[in-house]
Structure 1
Amino acid sequence: MRFSVFTASTPDWTPQQAVAELAAQGWDGVEWRITDQEHTEVPGFWAGNRATWPLSGLEERLADIGTLTRGAGLAYSGLGGYARCFERTDVARLLAATATLGAGRVRVTMPLLATGDYRDLFAGARKDLEWATAEAARLGVAVLVELHHETIASSASAALRLVDGLDPAAVGVIHDLGNLVIEGHEDHRAAFQLLGPYLQHVHVKNVAWHRAGTGPDGTVSWRPAWATLRDGQADVGAYLRALREHGYDGWVTLEDFSTALPLAERTRDNLAYVKGQLGLSS
Protein backbone atom coordinates (compact mmCIF):
# COMPACT_ATOMS: atom_id res chain seq x y z
CA MET A 1 0.00 0.00 0.00
CA ARG A 2 0.99 3.61 -0.52
CA PHE A 3 -0.13 6.43 1.73
CA SER A 4 -1.25 9.93 0.85
CA VAL A 5 -3.13 12.87 2.34
CA PHE A 6 -6.22 14.56 0.90
CA THR A 7 -5.66 18.29 1.18
CA ALA A 8 -9.22 18.92 2.31
CA SER A 9 -7.74 17.93 5.67
CA THR A 10 -4.78 20.35 5.53
CA PRO A 11 -6.51 23.75 5.39
CA ASP A 12 -3.76 25.72 7.16
CA TRP A 13 -1.09 24.93 4.57
CA THR A 14 -0.56 26.51 1.19
CA PRO A 15 0.14 24.03 -1.62
CA GLN A 16 3.84 24.79 -1.24
CA GLN A 17 3.74 24.10 2.48
CA ALA A 18 1.62 20.98 2.00
CA VAL A 19 4.05 19.23 -0.35
CA ALA A 20 7.06 20.25 1.73
CA GLU A 21 5.52 18.97 4.98
CA LEU A 22 4.15 15.75 3.52
CA ALA A 23 7.39 14.88 1.74
CA ALA A 24 9.43 15.58 4.86
CA GLN A 25 7.15 13.36 6.93
CA GLY A 26 7.55 10.44 4.52
CA TRP A 27 4.19 10.34 2.76
CA ASP A 28 4.15 8.74 -0.69
CA GLY A 29 1.68 11.09 -2.32
CA VAL A 30 -0.93 13.80 -2.21
CA GLU A 31 -4.57 14.01 -3.25
CA TRP A 32 -5.32 17.60 -4.20
CA ARG A 33 -8.68 19.14 -3.32
CA ILE A 34 -10.08 20.93 -6.39
CA THR A 35 -13.14 23.12 -6.07
CA ASP A 36 -14.27 26.73 -6.02
CA GLN A 37 -14.79 27.66 -2.39
CA GLU A 38 -15.95 30.49 -0.21
CA HIS A 39 -13.19 32.78 1.06
CA THR A 40 -12.80 33.07 4.81
CA GLU A 41 -10.23 34.90 6.91
CA VAL A 42 -9.68 31.83 9.05
CA PRO A 43 -8.87 28.70 7.03
CA GLY A 44 -11.29 25.80 7.38
CA PHE A 45 -11.71 22.36 5.90
CA TRP A 46 -14.56 23.36 3.56
CA ALA A 47 -14.08 27.13 3.15
CA GLY A 48 -10.90 29.16 3.03
CA ASN A 49 -8.85 25.98 2.66
CA ARG A 50 -5.40 27.14 1.56
CA ALA A 51 -4.41 23.77 0.11
CA THR A 52 -7.28 23.81 -2.40
CA TRP A 53 -6.85 24.52 -6.10
CA PRO A 54 -9.84 26.38 -7.59
CA LEU A 55 -11.76 24.75 -10.40
CA SER A 56 -12.10 28.14 -12.06
CA GLY A 57 -8.98 28.63 -14.14
CA LEU A 58 -7.69 25.16 -13.27
CA GLU A 59 -6.19 24.62 -16.70
CA GLU A 60 -3.82 27.58 -16.21
CA ARG A 61 -2.62 26.13 -12.88
CA LEU A 62 -1.84 22.59 -14.01
CA ALA A 63 1.82 23.35 -14.70
CA ASP A 64 2.22 24.74 -11.18
CA ILE A 65 0.47 21.72 -9.66
CA GLY A 66 2.74 19.37 -11.57
CA THR A 67 5.91 21.28 -10.71
CA LEU A 68 5.07 21.42 -7.00
CA THR A 69 4.05 17.77 -6.74
CA ARG A 70 6.91 16.30 -8.73
CA GLY A 71 9.40 18.72 -7.22
CA ALA A 72 8.60 17.41 -3.76
CA GLY A 73 9.02 13.82 -4.89
CA LEU A 74 5.35 13.04 -4.30
CA ALA A 75 3.02 10.98 -6.47
CA TYR A 76 -0.66 11.66 -7.07
CA SER A 77 -3.02 9.29 -5.33
CA GLY A 78 -5.68 11.02 -7.41
CA LEU A 79 -7.57 14.29 -7.55
CA GLY A 80 -10.36 15.15 -5.13
CA GLY A 81 -12.96 16.79 -7.31
CA TYR A 82 -16.35 18.04 -6.16
CA ALA A 83 -18.22 18.23 -9.46
CA ARG A 84 -21.51 16.32 -9.40
CA CYS A 85 -21.80 13.60 -12.01
CA PHE A 86 -24.50 15.55 -13.87
CA GLU A 87 -22.26 18.64 -14.19
CA ARG A 88 -20.72 17.22 -17.32
CA THR A 89 -18.75 20.27 -18.38
CA ASP A 90 -16.93 20.37 -15.04
CA VAL A 91 -16.50 16.60 -14.99
CA ALA A 92 -14.90 16.76 -18.44
CA ARG A 93 -12.52 19.47 -17.22
CA LEU A 94 -11.52 17.38 -14.21
CA LEU A 95 -10.94 14.31 -16.36
CA ALA A 96 -8.81 16.31 -18.78
CA ALA A 97 -6.80 17.79 -15.90
CA THR A 98 -6.27 14.31 -14.46
CA ALA A 99 -4.90 13.13 -17.79
CA THR A 100 -2.64 16.16 -18.21
CA LEU A 101 -1.18 15.75 -14.72
CA GLY A 102 -0.87 11.99 -14.98
CA ALA A 103 -2.87 11.74 -11.74
CA GLY A 104 -4.64 8.57 -12.81
CA ARG A 105 -8.04 9.02 -11.17
CA VAL A 106 -10.46 11.69 -10.03
CA ARG A 107 -13.44 11.69 -7.73
CA VAL A 108 -16.80 12.72 -9.15
CA THR A 109 -19.52 13.20 -6.56
CA MET A 110 -22.95 11.61 -6.61
CA PRO A 111 -26.37 13.28 -6.19
CA LEU A 112 -27.56 14.10 -2.69
CA LEU A 113 -30.57 12.16 -1.45
CA ALA A 114 -32.35 15.36 -0.50
CA THR A 115 -32.43 16.58 -4.12
CA GLY A 116 -35.06 14.21 -5.49
CA ASP A 117 -36.61 10.77 -5.72
CA TYR A 118 -33.91 8.12 -5.24
CA ARG A 119 -35.02 6.16 -8.28
CA ASP A 120 -34.77 9.15 -10.58
CA LEU A 121 -31.45 10.29 -9.10
CA PHE A 122 -30.00 6.81 -9.48
CA ALA A 123 -31.13 6.40 -13.09
CA GLY A 124 -29.72 9.81 -14.00
CA ALA A 125 -26.42 9.15 -12.26
CA ARG A 126 -26.04 5.85 -14.08
CA LYS A 127 -26.40 7.61 -17.44
CA ASP A 128 -23.94 10.29 -16.34
CA LEU A 129 -21.44 7.63 -15.26
CA GLU A 130 -21.78 5.82 -18.57
CA TRP A 131 -20.82 9.07 -20.28
CA ALA A 132 -18.01 9.83 -17.79
CA THR A 133 -16.59 6.32 -18.06
CA ALA A 134 -16.41 6.59 -21.83
CA GLU A 135 -14.68 9.96 -21.55
CA ALA A 136 -12.27 8.63 -18.91
CA ALA A 137 -11.42 5.64 -21.08
CA ARG A 138 -10.69 7.93 -24.01
CA LEU A 139 -8.25 9.88 -21.85
CA GLY A 140 -6.69 6.88 -20.14
CA VAL A 141 -7.85 7.81 -16.63
CA ALA A 142 -10.53 6.64 -14.19
CA VAL A 143 -13.51 8.28 -12.54
CA LEU A 144 -14.16 7.37 -8.89
CA VAL A 145 -17.42 7.10 -6.96
CA GLU A 146 -16.96 7.65 -3.22
CA LEU A 147 -19.05 5.87 -0.61
CA HIS A 148 -20.56 8.91 1.08
CA HIS A 149 -23.41 9.46 3.50
CA GLU A 150 -26.47 11.36 2.31
CA THR A 151 -25.81 10.46 -1.33
CA ILE A 152 -27.22 7.74 -3.56
CA ALA A 153 -24.02 5.71 -3.04
CA SER A 154 -23.51 5.45 0.70
CA SER A 155 -22.76 1.70 0.71
CA ALA A 156 -20.70 -0.74 -1.33
CA SER A 157 -23.90 -2.47 -2.46
CA ALA A 158 -25.37 0.78 -3.76
CA ALA A 159 -22.14 1.77 -5.48
CA LEU A 160 -21.86 -1.61 -7.16
CA ARG A 161 -25.39 -1.25 -8.55
CA LEU A 162 -24.32 2.12 -9.93
CA VAL A 163 -21.13 0.99 -11.71
CA ASP A 164 -21.86 -2.68 -12.42
CA GLY A 165 -21.18 -3.54 -16.04
CA LEU A 166 -19.06 -0.45 -16.70
CA ASP A 167 -15.38 -0.81 -17.58
CA PRO A 168 -13.43 -1.12 -14.29
CA ALA A 169 -10.37 0.25 -16.06
CA ALA A 170 -12.20 3.58 -16.32
CA VAL A 171 -14.47 3.68 -13.27
CA GLY A 172 -14.00 2.59 -9.68
CA VAL A 173 -15.14 3.04 -6.10
CA ILE A 174 -13.55 4.80 -3.13
CA HIS A 175 -14.17 2.78 0.02
CA ASP A 176 -14.33 5.36 2.83
CA LEU A 177 -14.03 4.01 6.37
CA GLY A 178 -15.16 7.14 8.19
CA ASN A 179 -18.15 7.87 6.01
CA LEU A 180 -19.40 4.35 6.60
CA VAL A 181 -19.57 4.96 10.35
CA ILE A 182 -22.20 7.59 9.57
CA GLU A 183 -24.13 5.66 6.91
CA GLY A 184 -23.72 2.63 4.68
CA HIS A 185 -21.61 0.26 6.77
CA GLU A 186 -21.41 -3.31 5.56
CA ASP A 187 -18.95 -5.96 6.68
CA HIS A 188 -15.69 -4.72 5.21
CA ARG A 189 -14.44 -8.03 3.87
CA ALA A 190 -17.78 -8.70 2.22
CA ALA A 191 -17.75 -5.20 0.72
CA PHE A 192 -14.25 -5.67 -0.72
CA GLN A 193 -15.29 -8.98 -2.24
CA LEU A 194 -18.50 -7.49 -3.58
CA LEU A 195 -16.74 -4.57 -5.28
CA GLY A 196 -14.09 -6.78 -6.85
CA PRO A 197 -12.19 -4.85 -9.55
CA TYR A 198 -14.13 -1.67 -8.74
CA LEU A 199 -12.34 -1.34 -5.37
CA GLN A 200 -9.76 1.11 -6.62
CA HIS A 201 -9.13 3.63 -3.86
CA VAL A 202 -9.45 3.97 -0.09
CA HIS A 203 -10.08 6.94 2.20
CA VAL A 204 -9.39 6.64 5.92
CA LYS A 205 -10.69 8.89 8.68
CA ASN A 206 -12.66 8.19 11.83
CA VAL A 207 -15.97 9.23 13.36
CA ALA A 208 -17.61 8.92 16.76
CA TRP A 209 -21.28 9.28 17.69
CA HIS A 210 -22.18 11.54 20.62
CA ARG A 211 -25.35 12.28 22.53
CA ALA A 212 -26.89 15.41 21.05
CA GLY A 213 -29.73 15.78 23.54
CA THR A 214 -32.70 14.18 25.21
CA GLY A 215 -36.31 14.94 24.30
CA PRO A 216 -39.10 15.57 26.78
CA ASP A 217 -40.17 11.92 26.50
CA GLY A 218 -36.65 10.69 27.26
CA THR A 219 -35.70 9.88 23.66
CA VAL A 220 -31.96 10.37 23.13
CA SER A 221 -30.71 11.94 19.88
CA TRP A 222 -27.24 11.37 18.52
CA ARG A 223 -24.85 13.17 16.18
CA PRO A 224 -21.65 12.07 14.42
CA ALA A 225 -18.42 14.04 14.85
CA TRP A 226 -14.98 13.66 13.32
CA ALA A 227 -12.55 11.88 15.61
CA THR A 228 -8.86 10.96 15.65
CA LEU A 229 -7.90 7.61 14.16
CA ARG A 230 -7.59 6.17 17.65
CA ASP A 231 -10.75 7.66 19.17
CA GLY A 232 -13.41 6.94 16.56
CA GLN A 233 -15.76 4.00 16.38
CA ALA A 234 -14.05 2.34 13.42
CA ASP A 235 -11.16 -0.02 14.14
CA VAL A 236 -8.62 1.43 11.73
CA GLY A 237 -6.03 -1.28 12.30
CA ALA A 238 -8.48 -4.11 11.69
CA TYR A 239 -9.71 -2.33 8.57
CA LEU A 240 -6.22 -1.93 7.10
CA ARG A 241 -5.35 -5.54 7.85
CA ALA A 242 -8.58 -6.67 6.19
CA LEU A 243 -7.61 -4.68 3.11
CA ARG A 244 -4.21 -6.33 3.04
CA GLU A 245 -5.70 -9.80 3.52
CA HIS A 246 -8.05 -9.10 0.63
CA GLY A 247 -5.04 -8.32 -1.55
CA TYR A 248 -5.56 -4.57 -1.86
CA ASP A 249 -2.24 -2.87 -2.58
CA GLY A 250 -3.34 0.54 -3.82
CA TRP A 251 -3.53 4.00 -2.33
CA VAL A 252 -4.74 4.66 1.20
CA THR A 253 -5.52 8.35 1.56
CA LEU A 254 -5.84 9.90 5.00
CA GLU A 255 -8.32 12.75 5.49
CA ASP A 256 -8.37 13.43 9.22
CA PHE A 257 -10.84 16.20 10.09
CA SER A 258 -10.25 16.02 13.83
CA THR A 259 -8.54 19.00 15.45
CA ALA A 260 -7.23 17.61 18.74
CA LEU A 261 -3.64 17.88 17.49
CA PRO A 262 -1.96 20.66 15.50
CA LEU A 263 -1.95 19.91 11.77
CA ALA A 264 1.72 18.93 11.32
CA GLU A 265 1.67 16.75 14.41
CA ARG A 266 -1.63 15.20 13.29
CA THR A 267 -0.41 14.19 9.82
CA ARG A 268 2.90 12.90 11.17
CA ASP A 269 1.20 10.84 13.85
CA ASN A 270 -1.38 9.47 11.40
CA LEU A 271 1.32 8.12 9.09
CA ALA A 272 3.14 6.47 11.98
CA TYR A 273 -0.13 5.04 13.28
CA VAL A 274 -1.35 3.45 10.03
CA LYS A 275 2.07 2.03 9.25
CA GLY A 276 2.33 0.69 12.77
CA GLN A 277 -1.02 -1.05 12.43
CA LEU A 278 0.38 -2.90 9.40
CA GLY A 279 3.74 -3.61 10.98
CA LEU A 280 5.53 -1.27 8.60
CA SER A 281 8.49 0.90 9.53
CA SER A 282 7.70 4.61 9.60
Structure 2
Amino acid sequence: MKFSVFTASTPDWTPAEAAQTLAAQGWDGIEWRVIDQDDATPPGFWAGNRATWPLTGLEESVPEIARLTAESGLEFSGIGGYARCDDHENVDRMLAATAALGARQVRVTVPRTDSGDDYRELFASARRDIERAAARAGELGVKALIELHHETITPSASAAFRMVDGIDPQTVGVIHDLGNLVIEGQEATLAAFQLLGPYLAHVHVKNVVWLPGEPEADGTVRWHHEWAPLRTGAGDVEAYFEALHAFGYDGWVTAEDFSTELPLAERTRDNLAYLREVDASTRSLVAARA
Protein backbone atom coordinates (compact mmCIF):
# COMPACT_ATOMS: atom_id res chain seq x y z
CA MET A 1 0.00 0.00 0.00
CA LYS A 2 0.91 3.64 -0.41
CA PHE A 3 -0.11 6.34 2.05
CA SER A 4 -1.11 9.91 1.35
CA VAL A 5 -2.83 12.85 3.04
CA PHE A 6 -5.86 14.78 1.81
CA THR A 7 -5.06 18.46 2.26
CA ALA A 8 -8.55 19.23 3.54
CA SER A 9 -7.03 17.97 6.81
CA THR A 10 -3.96 20.26 6.70
CA PRO A 11 -5.56 23.74 6.80
CA ASP A 12 -2.68 25.50 8.58
CA TRP A 13 -0.11 24.82 5.85
CA THR A 14 0.40 26.48 2.51
CA PRO A 15 0.66 24.08 -0.44
CA ALA A 16 4.46 24.31 -0.30
CA GLU A 17 4.50 23.65 3.44
CA ALA A 18 2.10 20.73 3.06
CA ALA A 19 4.15 19.07 0.34
CA GLN A 20 7.49 19.62 2.06
CA THR A 21 6.30 18.55 5.51
CA LEU A 22 4.49 15.42 4.36
CA ALA A 23 7.44 14.36 2.21
CA ALA A 24 9.86 14.87 5.10
CA GLN A 25 7.63 12.75 7.35
CA GLY A 26 7.78 9.89 4.84
CA TRP A 27 4.33 9.97 3.23
CA ASP A 28 4.19 8.54 -0.30
CA GLY A 29 1.70 10.96 -1.79
CA ILE A 30 -0.68 13.86 -1.49
CA GLU A 31 -4.32 14.39 -2.42
CA TRP A 32 -4.86 18.07 -3.15
CA ARG A 33 -8.14 19.73 -2.15
CA VAL A 34 -9.65 21.79 -4.98
CA ILE A 35 -12.64 24.06 -4.30
CA ASP A 36 -13.64 27.72 -4.22
CA GLN A 37 -13.92 28.31 -0.48
CA ASP A 38 -14.91 31.08 1.90
CA ASP A 39 -12.23 33.01 3.76
CA ALA A 40 -11.71 32.31 7.45
CA THR A 41 -9.31 33.42 10.17
CA PRO A 42 -7.90 31.29 11.63
CA PRO A 43 -7.90 28.81 8.74
CA GLY A 44 -10.23 25.84 9.11
CA PHE A 45 -10.80 22.52 7.44
CA TRP A 46 -13.68 23.79 5.29
CA ALA A 47 -13.06 27.55 5.04
CA GLY A 48 -9.81 29.45 4.79
CA ASN A 49 -7.91 26.19 4.29
CA ARG A 50 -4.46 27.30 3.14
CA ALA A 51 -3.64 23.96 1.46
CA THR A 52 -6.54 24.29 -0.97
CA TRP A 53 -6.33 25.20 -4.65
CA PRO A 54 -9.21 27.33 -6.01
CA LEU A 55 -11.43 25.76 -8.63
CA THR A 56 -11.76 29.08 -10.42
CA GLY A 57 -8.69 29.45 -12.60
CA LEU A 58 -7.56 25.90 -11.85
CA GLU A 59 -5.97 25.61 -15.27
CA GLU A 60 -3.53 28.39 -14.36
CA SER A 61 -2.62 26.58 -11.12
CA VAL A 62 -1.81 23.25 -12.76
CA PRO A 63 1.91 24.00 -13.42
CA GLU A 64 2.43 25.10 -9.80
CA ILE A 65 0.58 22.06 -8.42
CA ALA A 66 2.73 19.83 -10.60
CA ARG A 67 5.95 21.63 -9.60
CA LEU A 68 5.33 21.51 -5.84
CA THR A 69 4.33 17.86 -5.96
CA ALA A 70 7.26 16.79 -8.11
CA GLU A 71 9.87 18.80 -6.19
CA SER A 72 8.73 17.28 -2.91
CA GLY A 73 9.08 13.77 -4.31
CA LEU A 74 5.45 12.97 -3.53
CA GLU A 75 3.06 11.21 -5.88
CA PHE A 76 -0.55 12.10 -6.55
CA SER A 77 -2.92 9.66 -4.87
CA GLY A 78 -5.66 11.52 -6.69
CA ILE A 79 -7.35 14.90 -6.63
CA GLY A 80 -9.90 15.79 -3.96
CA GLY A 81 -12.50 17.59 -6.02
CA TYR A 82 -15.93 18.85 -4.99
CA ALA A 83 -17.54 19.47 -8.39
CA ARG A 84 -20.99 17.86 -8.28
CA CYS A 85 -21.80 15.39 -11.01
CA ASP A 86 -24.50 17.65 -12.52
CA ASP A 87 -22.08 20.60 -12.76
CA HIS A 88 -20.80 19.41 -16.11
CA GLU A 89 -18.52 22.35 -16.82
CA ASN A 90 -16.58 22.01 -13.58
CA VAL A 91 -16.56 18.21 -13.70
CA ASP A 92 -14.91 18.50 -17.10
CA ARG A 93 -12.47 21.09 -15.69
CA MET A 94 -11.50 18.74 -12.86
CA LEU A 95 -11.08 15.78 -15.16
CA ALA A 96 -8.92 17.77 -17.57
CA ALA A 97 -6.72 19.09 -14.75
CA THR A 98 -6.33 15.57 -13.37
CA ALA A 99 -5.20 14.35 -16.78
CA ALA A 100 -2.79 17.27 -17.20
CA LEU A 101 -1.25 16.52 -13.80
CA GLY A 102 -1.01 12.78 -14.39
CA ALA A 103 -2.97 12.32 -11.16
CA ARG A 104 -5.06 9.44 -12.57
CA GLN A 105 -8.26 9.90 -10.53
CA VAL A 106 -10.47 12.64 -9.12
CA ARG A 107 -13.49 12.75 -6.86
CA VAL A 108 -16.83 13.84 -8.32
CA THR A 109 -19.53 14.47 -5.72
CA VAL A 110 -23.17 13.38 -5.79
CA PRO A 111 -26.32 15.07 -4.42
CA ARG A 112 -27.16 15.21 -0.75
CA THR A 113 -30.29 13.59 0.63
CA ASP A 114 -31.50 16.65 2.54
CA SER A 115 -32.52 18.67 -0.51
CA GLY A 116 -36.17 17.70 -0.25
CA ASP A 117 -36.09 16.05 -3.67
CA ASP A 118 -37.24 12.48 -4.19
CA TYR A 119 -34.37 10.02 -3.72
CA ARG A 120 -35.22 7.89 -6.75
CA GLU A 121 -35.27 10.93 -9.00
CA LEU A 122 -31.98 12.23 -7.58
CA PHE A 123 -30.37 8.84 -8.03
CA ALA A 124 -31.56 8.37 -11.63
CA SER A 125 -30.38 11.84 -12.60
CA ALA A 126 -27.01 11.37 -10.88
CA ARG A 127 -26.54 8.03 -12.63
CA ARG A 128 -26.86 9.79 -15.99
CA ASP A 129 -24.38 12.42 -14.87
CA ILE A 130 -21.90 9.81 -13.63
CA GLU A 131 -22.17 7.94 -16.93
CA ARG A 132 -21.34 11.20 -18.69
CA ALA A 133 -18.39 11.91 -16.37
CA ALA A 134 -17.07 8.38 -16.86
CA ALA A 135 -17.23 8.74 -20.63
CA ARG A 136 -15.30 12.00 -20.46
CA ALA A 137 -12.79 10.45 -18.02
CA GLY A 138 -12.24 7.58 -20.42
CA GLU A 139 -11.45 10.00 -23.23
CA LEU A 140 -8.82 11.64 -21.01
CA GLY A 141 -7.36 8.43 -19.60
CA VAL A 142 -8.38 9.17 -16.00
CA LYS A 143 -11.01 7.89 -13.57
CA ALA A 144 -13.94 9.66 -11.92
CA LEU A 145 -14.48 8.60 -8.29
CA ILE A 146 -17.58 8.74 -6.13
CA GLU A 147 -17.20 8.55 -2.37
CA LEU A 148 -19.15 6.66 0.26
CA HIS A 149 -20.31 9.72 2.18
CA HIS A 150 -22.95 10.22 4.82
CA GLU A 151 -25.93 12.42 3.94
CA THR A 152 -25.52 11.81 0.20
CA ILE A 153 -27.26 9.41 -2.15
CA THR A 154 -24.26 7.02 -1.95
CA PRO A 155 -23.61 6.53 1.78
CA SER A 156 -22.96 2.78 1.44
CA ALA A 157 -21.15 0.35 -0.81
CA SER A 158 -24.49 -1.03 -1.94
CA ALA A 159 -25.73 2.39 -3.03
CA ALA A 160 -22.44 3.22 -4.76
CA PHE A 161 -22.45 -0.12 -6.58
CA ARG A 162 -25.93 0.63 -7.90
CA MET A 163 -24.61 3.98 -9.11
CA VAL A 164 -21.64 2.58 -11.08
CA ASP A 165 -22.73 -0.95 -11.98
CA GLY A 166 -22.33 -1.57 -15.69
CA ILE A 167 -19.98 1.37 -16.31
CA ASP A 168 -16.40 0.57 -17.32
CA PRO A 169 -14.39 0.36 -14.05
CA GLN A 170 -11.42 1.80 -15.91
CA THR A 171 -13.32 5.08 -16.06
CA VAL A 172 -15.24 5.19 -12.77
CA GLY A 173 -14.56 3.94 -9.26
CA VAL A 174 -15.56 4.19 -5.62
CA ILE A 175 -13.78 5.67 -2.61
CA HIS A 176 -14.43 3.54 0.46
CA ASP A 177 -14.25 5.62 3.65
CA LEU A 178 -13.97 4.11 7.14
CA GLY A 179 -14.95 7.22 9.06
CA ASN A 180 -17.92 8.26 6.94
CA LEU A 181 -19.40 4.79 7.33
CA VAL A 182 -19.38 5.06 11.12
CA ILE A 183 -21.84 7.93 10.64
CA GLU A 184 -23.99 6.33 7.93
CA GLY A 185 -23.82 3.40 5.54
CA GLN A 186 -21.78 0.80 7.43
CA GLU A 187 -21.87 -2.72 5.98
CA ALA A 188 -19.65 -5.71 6.69
CA THR A 189 -16.34 -4.39 5.38
CA LEU A 190 -14.99 -7.40 3.48
CA ALA A 191 -18.40 -8.07 1.96
CA ALA A 192 -18.55 -4.43 0.84
CA PHE A 193 -15.16 -4.71 -0.84
CA GLN A 194 -16.26 -7.91 -2.56
CA LEU A 195 -19.45 -6.23 -3.76
CA LEU A 196 -17.54 -3.30 -5.23
CA GLY A 197 -14.96 -5.59 -6.82
CA PRO A 198 -13.08 -3.73 -9.58
CA TYR A 199 -14.88 -0.50 -8.67
CA LEU A 200 -12.96 -0.25 -5.37
CA ALA A 201 -10.49 2.35 -6.57
CA HIS A 202 -9.40 4.29 -3.51
CA VAL A 203 -9.57 4.31 0.29
CA HIS A 204 -9.96 7.17 2.76
CA VAL A 205 -9.25 6.66 6.46
CA LYS A 206 -10.45 8.94 9.23
CA ASN A 207 -12.27 8.24 12.47
CA VAL A 208 -15.36 9.31 14.37
CA VAL A 209 -16.99 8.98 17.78
CA TRP A 210 -20.68 9.18 18.74
CA LEU A 211 -21.35 11.25 21.85
CA PRO A 212 -24.52 11.79 23.91
CA GLY A 213 -25.96 15.25 24.31
CA GLU A 214 -27.33 16.67 27.52
CA PRO A 215 -30.62 15.05 28.61
CA GLU A 216 -33.66 17.08 27.59
CA ALA A 217 -36.50 17.96 29.96
CA ASP A 218 -38.26 14.66 29.31
CA GLY A 219 -35.06 12.62 29.65
CA THR A 220 -34.46 12.19 25.92
CA VAL A 221 -30.77 12.00 24.97
CA ARG A 222 -29.80 12.83 21.39
CA TRP A 223 -26.46 11.62 20.08
CA HIS A 224 -24.11 13.43 17.70
CA HIS A 225 -20.87 12.52 15.97
CA GLU A 226 -17.49 14.23 16.23
CA TRP A 227 -14.22 13.57 14.43
CA ALA A 228 -11.67 11.61 16.42
CA PRO A 229 -8.00 10.56 16.12
CA LEU A 230 -7.38 7.42 14.08
CA ARG A 231 -6.32 5.49 17.16
CA THR A 232 -9.33 6.28 19.34
CA GLY A 233 -12.43 6.55 17.15
CA ALA A 234 -15.29 4.08 16.82
CA GLY A 235 -14.02 2.76 13.50
CA ASP A 236 -11.81 -0.31 13.94
CA VAL A 237 -8.75 0.58 11.86
CA GLU A 238 -7.07 -2.79 12.38
CA ALA A 239 -10.16 -4.74 11.30
CA TYR A 240 -10.48 -2.41 8.31
CA PHE A 241 -6.92 -3.13 7.14
CA GLU A 242 -7.40 -6.81 7.77
CA ALA A 243 -10.36 -6.73 5.38
CA LEU A 244 -8.36 -4.72 2.83
CA HIS A 245 -5.60 -7.34 2.84
CA ALA A 246 -8.05 -10.24 2.76
CA PHE A 247 -9.66 -8.68 -0.31
CA GLY A 248 -6.28 -8.07 -1.93
CA TYR A 249 -6.37 -4.28 -2.03
CA ASP A 250 -2.90 -2.81 -2.38
CA GLY A 251 -3.62 0.70 -3.63
CA TRP A 252 -3.65 4.15 -2.05
CA VAL A 253 -4.85 4.80 1.48
CA THR A 254 -5.41 8.50 2.14
CA ALA A 255 -5.60 9.87 5.67
CA GLU A 256 -7.93 12.80 6.32
CA ASP A 257 -7.83 13.34 10.07
CA PHE A 258 -10.18 16.13 11.17
CA SER A 259 -9.49 15.71 14.87
CA THR A 260 -7.63 18.50 16.65
CA GLU A 261 -6.32 16.93 19.85
CA LEU A 262 -2.75 16.94 18.53
CA PRO A 263 -0.94 19.77 16.70
CA LEU A 264 -1.08 19.29 12.94
CA ALA A 265 2.51 18.17 12.31
CA GLU A 266 2.41 15.77 15.25
CA ARG A 267 -0.96 14.46 14.07
CA THR A 268 0.20 13.67 10.53
CA ARG A 269 3.45 12.13 11.77
CA ASP A 270 1.67 9.88 14.24
CA ASN A 271 -0.97 8.89 11.70
CA LEU A 272 1.68 7.66 9.27
CA ALA A 273 3.44 5.65 11.98
CA TYR A 274 0.14 4.13 13.05
CA LEU A 275 -1.02 3.29 9.53
CA ARG A 276 2.29 1.64 8.62
CA GLU A 277 2.21 -0.35 11.86
CA VAL A 278 -1.36 -1.53 11.27
CA ASP A 279 -0.64 -2.29 7.62
CA ALA A 280 2.33 -4.50 8.51
CA SER A 281 0.65 -6.35 11.36
CA THR A 282 -2.58 -7.09 9.51
CA ARG A 283 -0.74 -8.06 6.33
CA SER A 284 1.21 -10.64 8.33
CA LEU A 285 -1.96 -11.86 10.04
CA VAL A 286 -3.82 -12.39 6.78
CA ALA A 287 -0.79 -14.06 5.18
CA ALA A 288 -0.51 -16.47 8.11
CA ARG A 289 -4.11 -17.52 7.61
CA ALA A 290 -3.69 -18.19 3.91
- TM bucket, shorter chain: over 0.9
* CA distance in structure 2 between the partners assigned to 1:214 and 1:158 by the alignment: 34
* CA distance in structure 2 between the partners assigned to 1:141 and 1:193 by the alignment: 23
Equivalent residue, structure 2, for 1:242:
243
**Residue 33 (structure 1) shift:** 0.1
The question of whether the paired residues in 2 share the 8 Å contact of 1:188 and 1:239 is answered with yes
Deviations along 1:164-202, one digit per CA (max 9) or x if unpaired, are: 000000000000000000000000000000000000000
Equivalent residue, structure 2, for 1:253:
254
* CA distance in structure 2 between the partners assigned to 1:123 and 1:112 by the alignment: 14
Equivalent residue, structure 2, for 1:29:
29
* CA distance in structure 1 between the partners assigned to 2:199 and 2:3 by the alignment: 19
* CA distance in structure 2 between the partners assigned to 1:194 and 1:147 by the alignment: 14
Listed as ranges, the gaps of 5+ residues in structure 2 are 282-290
Report the 3-state secondary structure (helix = DSSP H, G, I; strand = E; otherwise coil) of the residue aligned with 1:83. Answer: coil
**Residue 213 (structure 1) shift:** 2.5
**Residue 279 (structure 1) shift:** 2.2
**Residue 215 (structure 1) shift:** 2.5
Report the 3-state secondary structure (helix = DSSP H, G, I; strand = E; otherwise coil) of the residue aligned with 1:214. Answer: coil
Equivalent residue, structure 1, for 2:277:
276
Q: What pairs up with 1:155-234 in 2 under 5 angstroms? A: 155-234=156-235
Equivalent residue, structure 2, for 1:83:
83
Normalised by the length of structure 2, the TM-score is 0.95
Report the 3-state secondary structure (helix = DSSP H, G, I; strand = E; otherwise coil) of the residue aligned with 1:279. Answer: helix
* CA distance in structure 1 between the partners assigned to 2:53 and 2:253 by the alignment: 21
Aligned length: 280
* CA distance in structure 2 between the partners assigned to 1:43 and 1:36 by the alignment: 14
* CA distance in structure 1 between the partners assigned to 2:241 and 2:114 by the alignment: 32
Q: Output the aligned Cα RMSD.
A: 0.7
* CA distance in structure 2 between the partners assigned to 1:146 and 1:276 by the alignment: 26
Q: What pairs up with 1:38-117 in 2 under 5 angstroms? A: 38-115=38-115, 116-117=117-118
**Residue 216 (structure 1) shift:** 2.4
TM superposition outliers: structure 1 runs of 4+ over 2 Å: none
Report the 3-state secondary structure (helix = DSSP H, G, I; strand = E; otherwise coil) of the residue aligned with 2:23. Answer: helix
**Residue 64 (structure 1) shift:** 0.3
Equivalent residue, structure 1, for 2:152:
151
Report the 3-state secondary structure (helix = DSSP H, G, I; strand = E; otherwise coil) of the residue aligned with 2:213. Answer: strand
* CA distance in structure 2 between the partners assigned to 1:178 and 1:114 by the alignment: 20
* CA distance in structure 2 between the partners assigned to 1:183 and 1:113 by the alignment: 12
Report the 3-state secondary structure (helix = DSSP H, G, I; strand = E; otherwise coil) of the residue aligned with 1:27. Answer: coil
**Residue 240 (structure 1) shift:** 1.1
The question of whether the paired residues in 2 share the 8 Å contact of 1:237 and 1:274 is answered with no
Normalised by the length of structure 1, the TM-score is 0.98
Counterpart of 1:199 in structure 2: which amino acid?
A: L
Equivalent residue, structure 2, for 1:132:
133
Counterpart of 2:235 in structure 1: which amino acid?
A: A
* CA distance in structure 2 between the partners assigned to 1:248 and 1:129 by the alignment: 24
Report the 3-state secondary structure (helix = DSSP H, G, I; strand = E; otherwise coil) of the residue aligned with 1:150. Answer: coil
Listed as ranges, the gaps of 5+ residues in structure 1 are none
**Residue 114 (structure 1) shift:** 1.2
